[in-house]
Structure 1
Amino acid sequence: MPNAPCPTCGRPVDEHDRNVRFTLPTPLFELPDWRQAPGLWMSHETPTESVMLQAEGVGAFIRAVLPIRLADDHRLTYGVWVGVPPDLLQEAFAVWWGDNPAYKDLRLTGVLANKVLPWGLLGAPVVATVEDVEATPYCTESADPMLARVLTEVWAHDVLG
């Protein structure tokens, strides 16, 4: 039964393994018209497809996966943006595509560039590393106490309400 109720929380089981992908980093999203941001560059045609983007006066950003473990082996996965220094964006761009063996060693150090409810976390320091060469880097550690908890603890199914 695909939409059976969860014995722990009563919500449909289909809702437990969710993927949420932020279209834009929050600082760009909050502009009156992000499309008019000076020097806007995206790695692909749209921000939804893009894995990197940059805008003058706003910042440089790279996609990462923020995995959140839920009870009973379920997972909530956020596709977030990480704000990085422009030189790190250039380094990532140089190794991201193709079969470049250096991609597996890519380490992104920056700040979370999205508000992740219910925790907030915008601006929290984060490190993202490549766990699978066929995938986007994963947020793996943080010096921020709340983000460190989000990355390491198991959360109730109804963490988002």
Structure 2
Amino acid sequence: MTSHIPSCSCCGDSLTHERRIDVGFNLPDAALSAPEEARHRPGPSALLRVDGAGSFIRCLLPIRLTHDTELVLGIWLEVDEATLRKAHDLWEDHGYADLAFRGMLANKIRPWGDDLLGVPFTARVADPEELPYLVAGHHPTAARVLEDIWDRDHVLSRFPHQLPVDVRTDLGDHWSIVRTAGLTARFADGADQFAGPDRSAAVTVFTDDTPGRTSDDFLSALLAGAPDKLPAQRLTEPLPGGLRHAFWLTPDDHGRERHEFYGFTVPASGTAAGLFCTHEDPVDLAWAQQVWRSLEWTDPS
């Protein structure tokens, strides 16, 4: 199975360490709609002044996650002009190691969103080779973000970036799936979509509109019009009160070889999930089957 190692959105280096995950915000939220000519970088790229929006310093926000993992976010703090000038004077000086300042978080970060945006933090340089770290939050939620240990899947599934770890992702309606390492995420055309350089997956949740229909009959309805594949290209597995079924094929109408995988999981819940995967390497059939088997429906009762 081919590996997909994403790169750091802060520096571009490969992210091969599963215990520390780096994700960066390129700009403060207030600067996203500002024209390029309104953005001024007085020296280092971590310092920014935006006409009509304020002054900002890029920092690192460490968040402890379960599975002995740390998420380090490259975020921006809004600071006053005097703080920006002081940071500029010290940034490439020996005094940088002693730099400390206070500012307001300038990025909306999921899953906390508006609860953190604009909240004051204190930042301090911990390592002269790195950006300043947020070390104290001056708000109950901010303090909890720094001090508590958060569920890794709950937090990381909110980030569409390529990640170096597998992340179980909520699909809604009590369904979830594992987004494997190296895939980006988005929701489009009614489906959760995950994509990498040479593989992709899309998941759709269905509701049975025929009350009382068995899982086998619901699956038959979902498979209406599907090609009748040879036994070596299809697979059915039982589930408690339901089943899952998959088939795969290699279309011959593309300029390059591409393999397709179709999988369905049908529990006894009146709902089902359908998975469509594509991959270029035939060995990655095992990856597609792994993703298919990760589809789960959780009984809300």
Please tell me the TM-score bracket, short chain as reference: 0.7 to 0.9
Identity of aligned residues (%): 39
CA distance in structure 2 between the partners assigned to 1:22 and 1:52 by the alignment = 13
CA distance in structure 2 between the partners assigned to 1:18 and 1:43 by the alignment = 29
TM-score by length of 1: 0.79
Q: Which runs of 5 or more residues in structure 1 are unaligned? A: 4-13
Asked whether 1:109 is paired with 2:102, we answer yes
State the AA in 2 paired with 1:127.
Answer: T
> Match of 2:31?
28
Indicate which of 99, 111, 132 corresponds to 1:118: 111
CA distance in structure 1 between the partners assigned to 2:20 and 2:126 by the alignment = 20
State the AA in 2 paired with 1:41.
Answer: H
Q: Which has the higher contact order (CA 8 A, sep 6+)?
A: 1
Indicate which of 80, 83, 104 corresponds to 1:85: 80
Deviations 1:62-83 (A, max 9, x none): 0100011111321111000010
CA distance in structure 2 between the partners assigned to 1:159 and 1:122 by the alignment = 19
Asked whether 1:69 is paired with 2:95, we answer no
> Match of 1:41?
40
> Match of 1:6?
none
Indicate which of 51, 54, 57 corresponds to 2:52: 57
Deviation at 1:16, TM superposition (A): 6.3
State the AA in 2 paired with 1:23.
Answer: N
CA distance in structure 2 between the partners assigned to 1:111 and 1:159 by the alignment = 25
TM-score by length of 2: 0.44
- Aligned partner of residue 79 in structure 1, secondary structure: strand
Deviations 1:103-148 (A, max 9, x none): 1211120100101110021101011001111111000101111111
Larger Rg: 2
State the AA in 2 paired with 1:114.
Answer: N
Question: Which structure's residues are more often strand, by fraction?
Answer: 2
Deviation at 1:34, TM superposition (A): 2.8
CA distance in structure 2 between the partners assigned to 1:61 and 1:84 by the alignment = 6
Count, aligned residues = 142
Deviations 1:84-106 (A, max 9, x none): 00110000000101xx2321211
Deviations 1:24-63 (A, max 9, x none): 100111x2x43142xx31146xxxx820110221100001
CA distance in structure 2 between the partners assigned to 1:157 and 1:118 by the alignment = 12
Quote the RMSD (CA, aligned, Å).
2.4
C-alpha contact 2:19 2:68 (8 A) present in aligned 1: no
Deviation at 1:158, TM superposition (A): 1.1
Q: Which runs of 5 or more residues in structure 2 are unaligned? A: 4-16, 158-301
> Match of 2:139?
144
Deviation at 1:15, TM superposition (A): 6.6
